[in-house]
Chain A
Amino acid sequence: NAGVMQNPRHLVRRRGQEARLRCSPMKGHSHVYWYRQLPEEGLKFMVYLQKENIIDESGMPKERFSAEFPKEGPSILRIQQVVRGDSAAYFCASSPTRADGFGKLFFGSGTQLSVL
């Protein structure tokens, strides 16, 4: 059973370009979470999605960032008009059900975004 797959592993963009980060959850998982880790900082929650629905986007920046998890295919985190401050590691996690107090999240290896 493959784990959470994120691609690309590394992504380089110039300022002003768009970045698209993909996350394929583990088989049978219908809940996806995106986190961002800035250099020398901790993991910050961004957004929580179920199939075709955004459940919690309280950690998403108000502009340029969007996320989707369509009925078919991977979850996508999109960053428009990237700036140098967007350079970070972006991690995706999945869970089979609503991750309540005794559930656990499975994380991917992340996408390292570098903005030149």
Chain B
Amino acid sequence: DAKTTQPNSMESNEEEPVHLPCNHSTISGTDYIHWYRQLPSQGPEYVIHGLTSNVNNRMASLAIAEDRKSSTLILHRATLRDAAVYYCILRDVNNQGGKLIFGQGTELSVKP
């Protein structure tokens, strides 16, 4: 699986939007972009994924650059409950192994 680069940490204020960046300059045409997050003392949970087009779901939005070398996870209104480590992961659609390879992620803190 291709490598991603994320900032180690970010801060946000409650009820403000948060943009979490991810660089993946070596992405291949068959790589999906996945985002997971891990709340304190919990297992990771799926947030969103996409291939080329921007995606929206009830948790977040995913904006994918036209050249696909970067993407941004958008939390529209951060809450205290969104404080977590956010992981950006590339998954090859042809990946036979099924495993997710986690990097260090971005630790998001939310201030009231």
Contact = CB atoms under 8 A, between A and B. Distances in A.
Binding site secondary structure of chain B = loop
A55 interface: yes
A93 interface: yes
B30 A101 contact: yes
A101 B43 CA distance: 20
Given A91-B44, A104-B46, A99 B100 contact: yes
Interface string A26-55: 000001010100000011110010000001
Nearest to A97: B98
A43 B104 CA distance: 8
Interface string B68-106: 000000000000000000000001111111111111110
Contacts of A56: 97-99
Interface stretch (A13-21, A77-85, A107-115): A107-115
A64 interface: no
Contacts of B38: 43
B45 interface: yes
Given A42-B105, A45-B100, A56-B99, A102 B43 contact: no
Interface in A50-82: 55-56, 59
Contacts of B46: 104-106
Contacts of A35: 102
Contacts of B96: 98
B44 A100 contact: no
A14 to B, nearest CB: 24
Nearest to A93: B43
A95 interface: yes
Nearest to A95: B98
Nearest to B97: A56
Given A102-B49, A104-B46, A105-B46, A45 B94 contact: no
Given A42-B104, A93-B44, 20 more contacts: A33-B99, A42-B102, A42-B105, A43-B38, A43-B102, A45-B100, A48-B97, A48-B98, A93-B43, A99-B95, A99-B98, A99-B100, A101-B94, A102-B51, A102-B91, A104-B34, A104-B49, A105-B44, A107-B43, A109-B41
Interface of B: 30-32, 34, 38, 41-46, 49, 51, 91-105
